[in-house]
Structure 1
Amino acid sequence: MDRYERITALHRTLKAARYPVTVPRLQEELGCSRATVYRDLAFLRDALMAPVVGDGEAGFRYDTSDGARFELPGLWLNSEELYALLAAQQLLSRTTGGVLSGALAPLQQRVESLLAEQAGGKRWPVERVRVIPHRTRRMDEHAFRSVCTAVLERRQLAFDYRARSTDQRTRRTVSPQRITHYRDNWYLDAWDHERDGLRSFSVDRITAARALDDAARDIAEDELNQHLAGSYGIFSGPPKGTATILFSAKAARWVADEHWHSQQQGRFLPDGRYELKIPYSAPRELLMDVLHYGSDAEIVEPPALREQAKSLLALALSNYDR
């Protein structure tokens, strides 16, 4: 963990401790050396004015004799923690009038109290930070509940599915494996019994869903990840190739810091451009994301994927020839 995370963890440990905490215990909890523990204690006491008392033999604690509670100043959450709390707070605040609103009220209060701790005990100004949903789709809430029930109760699920790619409606019987939230939308990872293979279904395209009495077939998590997370995008499948994409020097300032896939490989070229290699199976989603960069991105390999990008660009350009 980095220094901010260590200071936060150290503060939480000392704040919760009823008795002095020894240096070996702090080393174990913070995952650092003895010298680092002493440096962090000194920073907490001298720079942040925390009431740290004690010594290396008896241990350290917060002095609460004056009845005051010390809180870290400013923002000490990391980006992922802040996003998780704010997303939870905003999602819970929008859950009103449903069967869960009353049950979730204590959870919302707890989240808001955690945010308040970051503001020194005062109300956290939630309106100063925004979490904006992006391209969220409408869905059949009954279908969503049926899907989640089948996943959690490990029962087979039957439903009608209208695929966006073909616009055809089919009846599916599947063994649900897990529900996935990806790019602000929900997907069902499942074993499709008719097609005898793993598939991902967009939940907003599911209707007439019904949990069956038959037990779901369980697929090992390693197999799920290998099949569904091995390539780029939500509808990935096992990798069929590796795409090589060149980004302009301007776009490189963004792309070099972006996480596209767990197995991506990237490097800066001498002229400032950025080369990104990504394993992929179904090219559709990858093509959409690359074309999002317009003239700042070029697919170099494989040739088939490059030709697909050229065809899509030609079709897009033809819309402006009328």
Structure 2
Amino acid sequence: MAIAKAERLMNLALCLMNTRRPLAKRELRLSIEAYREIGTEDAFNRMFERDKDDLRELGMVIETVEALDGETGYVARRDRNRLPEIALDAEEAAALSLAARVWQQARLAGAASGALQKLRAAGVPFTEEGYGEGHSVIEPHIPAHEPAFEPLMLAARDRRPVVFEYRKASAVRPETREVEPWALECWRGHWYLAGWDRERSARRVFRLSRITGRVRPRGGRFTAEVPDHVDVRQTVASWAGEGATSTARIRLRRGAGYPLRAKAVETVPASGEWAADWDELEIPYGHGLDAWLVEFGADAVVLAPEELRADVIDRLRAVAKG
């Protein structure tokens, strides 16, 4: 969320919570500097309605009251917007501390650390290591090096559509994609975004490392319904051949293709003219394996099945033509 908007929402929340009577929109406009700077009444009304909806989405209870003079007033009563006392047992405290320590990169690190300090001040049983008595110290972290991570995380949280340039594994040039982001998930060291591709009218999963340029926000709300559960890993795993019932035979140059080697159910030295520098691997074969194999370029050669070999060759030819 932009700093200007966050400040405006905070000022609106403070006004609504610190008034003894409902305030009309005209009073709120005079009280909040950001609203006073809006040029027209229509523009102010649109901004105010958006801000009010955003506060309600964040959990704030805002009451609408019809005043005697016919104006509509707004108020957020303190007794209806007070959080209950926080009480965590040792296991829950450990889980929160572990989650906070995971984010060593991206902007969440500072927010997570500050949240733990507030919980400690409220009496939650965190030790200096953050876990409470009886829990060993762990230092996990999830890397988030991709520049697209933070804007996509915020867009998914705020339910805001985005536009970005995306280069598929088989393409030379990126394509413009307009997406309603649902969820981000890390799988085997890579971050993936699941969401609704507006142009294709279908759900899609995007690897963040293939997003080029800046992630740009799009106006408006989501047009597609967000599913209750978004299983990013299952989709990516199916592309990578996880859970496949058949296998593929790959010739792989020694010293290359370590992700392929990690998946292999069998690895043997190549024979004949390939013996000096190549191995032969048997790996699970599933949907999307052809796109993955293209990434290894000349270091991987498909031996079988024939349809996989043909798909890889077609993709490589498409890259060469580009």
TM-score of the superposed pair, with normalisation by structure 2: 0.41
Point out which structure has higher relative CO (alpha carbons under 8 A, 6+ apart).
2
TM-score of the superposed pair, with normalisation by structure 1: 0.41
